[in-house]
Chains A and B, each alone.
Chain A
Amino acid sequence: MQLASQLSLEFRRAGDASVVYARGDIDLSTLAKAAAALDAAREGAATLLLDLRRVDFMDTSGLRLVIAEQQRAAANSYRFAVVLGSRKVQRLFEIAGFAADDELFVESPTAFAGGGD
């Protein structure tokens, strides 16, 4: 029997920077949970980071979430970035036409916080 996709999310804030740590799978079944975590983290944040290093799998639902957040950040003047993880997740972004050096990506949450200003 197939196990349902699991996704756990953790959200930390330092000053006006929020980081959402995702762990597990981001797909149609866990999308709402991930979206809710971003909503909570975004509140009052000048910079928002989605850490996907512990994400094993992500499908186009997850990509859609990231692209929506990217556009929201551009429209509302906050900074949004993603820390990539597994090869599979990198491949997904690659397929979606993101260059490896796209400004959406940062190496780690600390690098992001340092470059926040």
Chain B
Amino acid sequence: MSTGAEGDRIGLLASIDEVATGTVLLGETVARLLEFVVPVFADVATLDTISPTGAFHRIGSRVEGPGREDLEKGLLRRRPVPEAPVGLPAALASGESQLIERVTDEHLRAISADDADFELLRALELRSVLDVPLVARGRIVGALACGVGTSGRSYGAEDLLFAEVLSGRIALALDNAGLSAAISGLEQRFETTLTNLAEAVIVRDASAQIVFANAAAARLLGLASVDELTAAAPGEVMALFDVFDEGGRRLALADLPSAIVARGEPAEPLLVRNVIRATGEQRWLLHKATPVFEADGRLSLVVSVIEDLTEVKRAELAQRLLAEAGNALSSSLDYRQTLQQVAELTVPGLADWCAVLMRGDDGELEQVAVAGAGGRVLAVSVNPAGEEKLIDGVMTVPLAIAGHTPIGVLSLAMTASGREFDEADLALARELGHRAATAIENARLYAERSLIAATLQRSLLPPELPRVPGFRLAGFYHAAGEQNEVGGDFYDAFEVPGGWMVVVGDVAGRGAEAAALTSLSRYTLRTAGRLVGDPIAALEQLNDALREGPALSLVSVCCALLRTAAGGASADVVLAGHPPLVHLRGGRPEPVGVFAPFLGAYERAAWTAVTVAIDPGDQLVLYTDGVIDTVGVEERFGEERLMDALRDAASAADAVARIERAVSGFADGPQVDDTAVIVVERLAGG
């Protein structure tokens, strides 16, 4: 610019920077910016902004010279002619600054909307014009147009460079004044911060038109590009999907948070199942929406953030499905009934329809459970070999334990929902099939094991107490807990050299290990007793056997060796970790025995035999601690109550009955420990 002094220009930039860092209001900012530009750099200047939707706003105009006010008003109302090949329209279209050094009527015609517009432009007496886009944060947010003529100045190439510097400062000043936020800043911010965001972001204007979407949004909704979203009319995008809530209810656009907040109502985040109609691909999407209002309270924009919870939801579904299926499968041994429950669990979370087919004894597959589609039988592809298949909305997986022949198949299909299965669904179905098969096998094994347990338990008890000459025996055994929890207590009575041995014992613990110990104890005592006829030697044998085991195995035993001789009858009583034997002498209970360590506790221990004479009518009561440990309301049954119950018992059978009665009358709640009692009565004249 021929007449522009260098100092003026530097001052101009400084002035604009001052505005840029100030805290003035927007309208004032624009006015002051134009004041600096005109007359220092131009005779005529206008300032425009472009909204994210491309809407053009002329926010200021300034003219120096005669007729200034009318010209300014005229310019303020002007809108650029969109297709003009020169000037402001060209600058906006290309993003490049435009310089017309010598303005002709032809130029003016080209940028005029009509004759009146042409006359307005002519009245400005323009010699040169510069049109420079305003670029803030990488985006054209507006334009500065400058003209000279009345002052006699004209623009050259160097003026264009300066104008570009100037426009940068102005853009910054406008940005700082909040103009960009109000008009075009939303898009700037989205473009710079949201474009690469993993969360899908969609911005709609007040008419529900999508004005911004990021790449993640396009991806999530299965669209090729962001443009497909922004080009679509309101509602068109929604038509691409079937949208359901968590309960399976179909949702319309009006149900989504973006529409709800647009109506001015508050909206909670909404989890939806989004099925792309074209492909059947399904995703779980969490919609959140926030309204943005104009200063006057009108709705300006609705910002939606859509989070993809497909993986989370799928994991949750898988976890829940497998857990519930596990519960169903373990709750009953009737697998037909539980397979029906499993089938029902898969609908509608995993599939629209589910059937379970089991191989019958004849090798044919028979449908044993079905859920969904009104329970109809669907003609799905069932591979008789039980192989895994995934084709067009149908999955078939084997019911099989790894490495075993499938015992059936699990078939799943999509029908009305139009959804498709993917690999993750197949993996879940596979796991479900595996678990169902395992549960069915377990049920079969359990039935077998229960049988084994019952058989084992029977083997641990003498089928019948033996007849012992001169004596009468009575006993009872009560096992606590489930049938398959063999273990705990045992009793036995068998002939040995020189007499009869009567034994009760208690093995610590329950279950299979206890059962094994019980068996070991009973048969070791029986064998050793028969060989040596000495209770202490028999106990030492068992002690050694228990010590050989890897773990600490403790067994308590009360052993009585009954002997009869011409002079009468007696018993050698030995205790090992066991409460005393009760000797009913003339109806009076007396404890007998010397306390000594458990069998299995120590390498060597001193077990002591106590010999008592047994008169006719006397009784020996051997019992396990299940009797005295029986839980009552206040306390345990205890030795005292046992003694009291036995007092004056008339016979072995009476003694047993008295104990049973006393214990069951005392007990509060179910019995928790095994109980074994054996009573030996010396018969009169025996």
Contact = CB atoms under 8 A, between A and B. Distances in A.
Interface of A: 1-2, 27-29, 57, 59-61, 63-64, 67-68, 71, 88, 91, 94-98
Contact of B596 (A27, A29, A71, A97): A97
B577 A97 contact: yes
A57 B673 CA distance: 14
14 contacts: A28-B672, A28-B673, A29-B672, A59-B629, A59-B673, A60-B506, A60-B577, A60-B625, A63-B554, A68-B552, A95-B579, A95-B595, A96-B556, A97-B576
B508 A97 contact: no
Closest 9 CB pairs of A and B: A2-B669, A97-B597, A97-B596, A2-B668, A64-B508, A96-B577, A68-B552, A97-B595, A67-B601
A82 B428 CA distance: 54
B494 interface: no
Contacts of B639: 91
Interface in B562-586: 575-580
Nearest to A70: B601
Interface in B653-677: 668-670, 672-673
Nearest to B670: A2
Interface of B: 506, 508-510, 552, 554, 556, 575-580, 595-598, 601, 605, 625, 629, 631, 633, 635-636, 638-639, 668-670, 672-673
Contacts of B509: 61, 64
- Determine the main DSSP class of B at the interface with A: loop
Nearest to A57: B636
B634 to A, nearest CB: 11
A60 B598 CA distance: 10
A60 B552 contact: no
Given A63-B577, A95-B579, 9 more contacts: A2-B633, A2-B668, A59-B629, A60-B506, A60-B554, A60-B577, A64-B554, A88-B636, A98-B597
Nearest to B667: A2
B635 to A, nearest CB: 8
Contacts of B601: 67
A89 B294 CA distance: 81
Contacts of B598: 60, 63, 67, 96-97
B625 A59 contact: yes
A57 B629 CA distance: 9
B473 to A, nearest CB: 24
A61 B508 contact: yes
Contact of B556 (A2, A29, A60, A68): A60
Contact of B577 (A2, A71, A95): A95
Contacts of A94: 595
Contact of B578 (A2, A71, A88, A95): A95
A2 to B, nearest CB: 3
Nearest to B601: A67
Contacts of B631: 2
Nearest to A61: B508
A94 B597 CA distance: 9
A6 to B, nearest CB: 12
B485 to A, nearest CB: 11
B368 to A, nearest CB: 40
A88 B673 CA distance: 18
A59 B489 CA distance: 14
Contacts of B510: 28
A27 B625 CA distance: 12
Contacts of A29: 672
Nearest to B636: A57
Contacts of A97: 576-577, 595-598, 605
Contacts of A60: 506, 508, 554, 556, 577, 598, 625
A1 B670 CA distance: 9
Contacts of B554: 60, 63-64, 67
Contacts of B595: 94-97
A33 B289 CA distance: 52
Contacts of A28: 510, 672-673
B669 A67 contact: no
Contacts of A27: 629, 672
A56 to B, nearest CB: 8
Contacts of A88: 636, 638
Given A59-B625, A59-B629, A64 B552 contact: yes
A51 B329 CA distance: 45
Nearest to B508: A64
Contacts of B669: 1-2
Contacts of B635: 57
A88 B628 CA distance: 11
Contacts of B633: 2
A48 to B, nearest CB: 17
Contact of A67 (B506, B552, B578): B552
B326 to A, nearest CB: 24
A35 B64 CA distance: 97
A67 B605 CA distance: 14
Nearest to B594: A97
A84 B426 CA distance: 62
A63 B631 CA distance: 18
A68 B577 CA distance: 15
A106 B597 CA distance: 19
A99 B670 CA distance: 34
Contacts of A61: 508-509
A24 B673 CA distance: 18
A88 B629 CA distance: 11
A2 B508 CA distance: 23
Contacts of B576: 97
B305 to A, nearest CB: 48
A68 to B, nearest CB: 5
A63 B577 CA distance: 10
Contacts of A96: 556, 577, 595, 597-598
B511 to A, nearest CB: 11
A11 B475 CA distance: 44
Contacts of B597: 96-98
Residue among A71, A94, A96 with the highest chain B CB neighbour number at 10 A: A96
Nearest to B510: A28
Contacts of A57: 629, 635-636
Nearest to B596: A97
A63 to B, nearest CB: 7
A8 to B, nearest CB: 18
Contacts of A2: 631, 633, 668-670
Nearest to B577: A96
B667 to A, nearest CB: 8
Nearest to A72: B552
A61 B580 CA distance: 18
A92 to B, nearest CB: 9
B580 to A, nearest CB: 8
Nearest to B551: A68
Contacts of B508: 60-61, 64
Nearest to B631: A2
Contacts of B629: 27, 57, 59
Contacts of A95: 575, 577-580, 595
Contacts of B670: 2
A107 B227 CA distance: 87
Contacts of B668: 1-2
